[in-house]
Structure 1
């Protein structure tokens, strides 16, 4: 069982797995590894032979109502108990707890504003981790949801996450950093009119933000914001992949 109450897996649901795999391999540097069956195909994304996430196709019967996108998995010690905790805290359960035999137990849930995520418990050894900042690692977790005064207590009550610095952003409200046991790993803010959300957005680490931006365009993606400098002498961009899934990058500007 991996260390609980943190994001530990990231999954892309997409309309074209072959094109998406080629895109993220080119832009972020991930390797792709098919691990599913012909009946249930699944692809892992790996960094230095360590799995950080996966990808699967949107089922044909859901293509008309489901859009490509990323979802994060939070490790917990008891999936059924946490699904009930989500309900009691005012969230929603989109898919009741279920097993992928020999792999994990999971439930698809959402917070009080409707931002989806997954709670899961793996079956087997702890998942290895990648050193922070490594090309292809996940460098930041950003929630665009409801009011921060509502969103933070929901996640804090579930997972014990703690507040870090609160950064005022004028008319956009507060950008509330949070930690899951050490240094800040993400932030929460109210979704803006006309902007994305409710959703979690994930920042993938790259060594050179300008080179990565160029690679986005080379494979048919588009940059929607940035580059902007952020604390820690890092730069960020937000983007869409060719199938329309939103993601973000964080890295240096040599």
Structure 2
């Protein structure tokens, strides 16, 4: 998939205990996690699935307090220009823009509803494989991100903001009764996820992402075994798969999606 503006290209955990986070997610997401081979990355840990980097785990940054546990990185051709546009549209720049050696340039920002996300311009033109929104029955997305989700107190204002920033539109919706609607978002062939009302659902305002697991029940059993919590699910989703939301032992939340292979 072409890396157009708004494409999810990286996922990063801001962890108070990176070693504990690594142990948890290696079991739950079946990742191989190892420190970056580049000394200038300061021990940054890179999670791989099928030999491809999909996510990072870093030590909490004292110079950037208040950032979320898991952050969603969205592509842009020009981080500085897009960060300035975020401010013009009523958002904030929380950190950066700064260069990451051999990776690219990034900034942590928040939208007008104060939901944090990251912007990144990769250093080279290689297409990120961290995200692959294809049917979950295909094995080559195991361990990769397959969906992003925004819980926001003002979906209409959020859609206007991200629509201006990335050209996203509302591409249909699924009614959720008294909890409003689950609105699908994207542009053209890029359909990365959905948004919903945090006020109506009671969900904390934030960007979330879902990783593809081979067996949702086995993954949830591993969550519990390793000290995490299952917050919701497994719930059926279109296509015969199931989704769930979890919290790791440090309280960081993540979505899982996959089939049920156990009876």
State TM-score, norm by structure 2. 0.88
RMSD over aligned CA atoms reads 2.2
Matched ranges for 1:1-254 at <5 A: 3-5=3-5, 6-35=7-36, 37=39, 40-59=42-61, 66=66, 69-129=69-129, 132=134, 133=136, 134-182=141-189, 184-192=191-199, 195-254=202-261
- Distance, in Å, in 2 between the alignment partners of 1:157 and 1:60 is 32
User: Over residues 182-233 of structure 1, what are the superposed CA-to-partner deviations in whole Å (9 max), with x where a residue is unaligned?
Assistant: 2632110111379443210111111111111111111111101111112221
Contact 2:67 2:116 in 1 (8 A): no
Q: Which moved more, 1:106-115 or 1:161-170?
A: 161-170
Aligned residues: 251
Q: Which moved more, 1:123-132 or 1:51-60?
A: 123-132
Are residues 66 and 143 of structure 1, via their aligned partners in 2, closer, same or farther at CA, if it must alter by over 3 Å? same
- Distance, in Å, in 1 between the alignment partners of 2:75 and 2:216 is 30
Q: Secondary structure at the match of 1:139?
A: strand
Q: Which runs of 5+ in 2 are unaligned?
A: none
User: Over residues 56-91 of structure 1, what are the superposed CA-to-partner deviations in whole Å (9 max), with x where a residue is unaligned?
Assistant: 0114677xx647610011111111110111111111
Are residues 220 and 11 of structure 1, via their aligned partners in 2, closer, same or farther at CA, if it must alter by over 3 Å? same
- CA shift, 1:49, in A, is 1.1
- CA shift, 1:178, in A, is 1.2
Contact 1:222 1:241 in 2 (8 A): yes
Q: Which runs of 5+ in 1 are unaligned?
A: none
Q: Secondary structure at the match of 1:127?
A: coil
